[in-house]
Chains A and B, each alone.
Chain A
Amino acid sequence: MGDYAVPAHFLLSHIIHNKIIKPKPITSKTIEIGSKYSPEFVCTPFKYTLGTLIEGLDSGAKILIQAGGGCRYGYYAELQEQIIKDLGYECRFYNLVTAGKTDFKRIYRMMKEIDPKFSILKVLYYGSITKRMLKYMDSIDHYIREHIGFEIKKGSFEKVKAEMLHKFKMVKTHHELKKVYQKYKQEIENIPIQKPENPLKIGIIGELYTVMEPYSNYELERTLASMNFEIKRFTNVTYLLFQKHKKVKQYLKEISEYVTYQMGADAMDNIARAKELCEQGYDGIIHIKSSFCTPEIGAMPILTKVCNDYNVPILFFSFDTNTSEVGIKTRLEAFYDMLEMRKKR
């Protein structure tokens, strides 16, 4: 998912001795395979991940690992395992999360099964480096999103970031990681930009997979950057793994006028973020989700209400494996024109 293959590979390659097969980047072939073997009306990330798993099996993988979450994502592993076995692949399928719970004892036994030489000390050490790496990556991405729309030489941010990720793969200690991060942070901050005093600011919220995997949202962020938007996005892996559980209560309190209970996955979080964006004077909000994502469908009417109350426009997109790219472009262009007109007023 996005660039997160780098930390995931980093962690696994240091804690187990098995050969790790790097997933190929997602292409239309991945989706074709995924859609072919998926139930038709399942949410789109299921199709993407199933396609990736099958591509992994085709390149020789024997062990698959899937996680779960607080929505239909919680059933992905069981169903995908069944589909893959029905297709006749021989593999072992490990599910990190069962019944919405992460049981560390169970995961430990599982890892011992995968690699008998598995050591808990290594996990603690490299786990903490990986956590830090995620934090660094997400903070760099945050900075890039705010500035990439105004770079003078096209592609300069992406180039430096790719270099940084490459260096991240080779670090061995906390110290090395920090040194690499600081070097590239400075380099990125020194990239020349031409930013107007009051640029159009846009916030992206929505279902986590679609938000984080650029291929599945038709490179939305890149398109917005080419339209000279300053972009803000909340969902990233650091948030999901290490911050979400702390934020829930605070969010619920902030939006008590709109929401009383949690709504599954990130639906409640997104409503709170929309309110935050409105209050911080963002010009517009884009809400994206994969088709048939139930928690986000539940959030949409409330989002409309929040945005009406603050008079901030919101644009909804549902991405499917059959979405037409031209249609997205037209709507985004019109959204841009509208925001620009409103700003001039």
Chain B
Amino acid sequence: MKKGYLGIDIGSISTKGVILDEQHNIVTSSYIWTEGNPIKAVKDLLHQLKESLEEEIEIYGIGTTGSARKLIGLMVDANVVKNEITAHAIGTTHFYPDVRTILEIGGQDSKMILLKDGLIEDYAMNTLCAAGTGSFLSSQAKRLGVDIEDFGHLALTSKNPVKIAARCTVFAESDLIHKAQVGYKKEDIIAGLCKSVVLNYLNNVGKGKKIMPPIVFQGGVSKNEGVTKYFSEVLKEDIIVDPNSHLMGAIGIALLAHKYEDGKMRSLDVADITFETKGRECEKCSNHCEILRIYKDSKFIESWGSKCGKVS
């Protein structure tokens, strides 16, 4: 039977899964919304992946990345649990070995990875502010009554993008309301928003970084043509957007799962496993640590969050 490697990227907004074969071709992939419940999202995701398989495949490695990597790693018994920066770099260099800059804008965070000879040279990640991320765009789309999928397309129709004071999402929203109230066209406002995401990203994440071509743009926001257009306008370079740009993290972690294969076969059947976490506040000292206890099939397996290490 064929050997396969599963990569799962659990982000704040969406959960991505991909199965690679031994030659690193994509066998199948899936993309669903996380909706604040990573455990359920991953169960659904694995179910979908399994349904879509044309032939049976034996999973010899599972990797998890993204903000819920640790929890899901425990749940699916992953052999690799890695941060999304490394996963994205490895996934992208697999398809574009000579890439020098990766621009990545996801739902909650945005990052920039600089590479040289296929290895990470430097990286940056947004710190406190969400003004250059996908959730900012989607909340503004909702306010304007536009479907987020049409957002980029609409932006391209604008001839005169509005300048929006988007240093911070909260102020951007008030400026946006103001611009709408004085009668600017919707597409001009949308184009202005896309441009402000680009400028914010470059000023915030890209501060002091040398951006060299080839440039690959990925993450959920890379599906937005408006943002891509303004990136290439501002940077004066071609921007590559892969059709699988949203899957790069999952592909990267699947590659790592292959690299660190431990010979153990894993199953995709987690649907029947009950997996839950119970949080409580420890009262033993004034630190009040939030202790998370994790149960698999009602059996306690691990606990996180204790600062002193004495409480579980």
Q: Report chain A residues within 8 Å CB of B117.
A: 345
Interface contact A333-B82, CB-CB below 8 Å = yes
Q: Which residues of B contact A28 (CB under 8 A)?
A: 286-288
Q: Tell me if B208 is interfacial: C-beta within 8 Å of chain A.
A: yes
* Pairs A–B under 8 Å by Cβ, sample size 6: A27-B286, A27-B287, A28-B288, A29-B288, A330-B85, A337-B85
Chain B residues within 8 Å of A313, by CB: 121-122
Chain B, 219-255, CB within 8 A of any chain A CB: none
Is A99 interfacial (CB-CB < 8 Å)? no
Interface residues on A, range: 20 to 34
Query: Does B31 have its Cβ within 8 Å of any Cβ on chain A?
Result: no
Q: Assess the B83–A334 pair: CB atoms within 8 A.
A: yes
Counting CB contacts under 8 A, is B67 at the interface?
yes
CB-CB < 8 A to B84: which residues of A? 330
Q: Hey, which bits of chain B sit against chain A, CB under 8 A?
A: 67, 82-86, 117, 119-123, 125, 127-128, 208, 285-288
CB of A54, distance to nearest CB on chain B (Å): 13
Cross-interface CB contact of A345 among B119, B122, B127, cutoff 8 Å: B119
User: Is A301 an interface residue, CB under 8 A from the partner?
Assistant: yes
**Distance A330 CA – B67 CA, assembled complex (angstroms):** 9
Q: How far is B228's CA from A206's CA once the two chains are assembled, in angstroms?
A: 37
The 8 closest A-B pairs by CB, nearest first: A334-B85, A29-B286, A27-B286, A338-B120, A333-B83, A337-B86, A27-B287, A304-B208
Check A334/B86 contact, CB under 8 A, given A27-B286, A28-B287.
Answer: yes
Contact between chains at A330 and B83 (CB < 8 Å): yes
A341-B119 contact in complex given A27-B287, A28-B288, A301-B208, C-beta closer than 8 Å: yes
Chain A residues, Cβ within 8 Å of B119: 341-342, 345
Q: Are A27 and B285 in contact (CB under 8 A)?
A: yes
Q: Which of B82, B122, B128, B208 contacts A337 (CB 8 A)?
A: B82
Q: Are B123 and A338 in contact (CB under 8 A)?
A: yes
**CA distance in complex: A331, B208 (Å):** 18
A318 an interface residue at 8 Å Cβ cutoff? Answer: yes
Q: Which residues of chain B have C-beta atoms less than 8 A from A24's C-beta?
A: 286
Give Cα distance in the complex from A313 to B128, angstroms.
Answer: 21
| Min CB gap A120→B, angstroms | 39
Looking at the assembled complex, report how far the CB atom of A69 sits from the nearest CB atom of chain B, in whole angstroms: 26
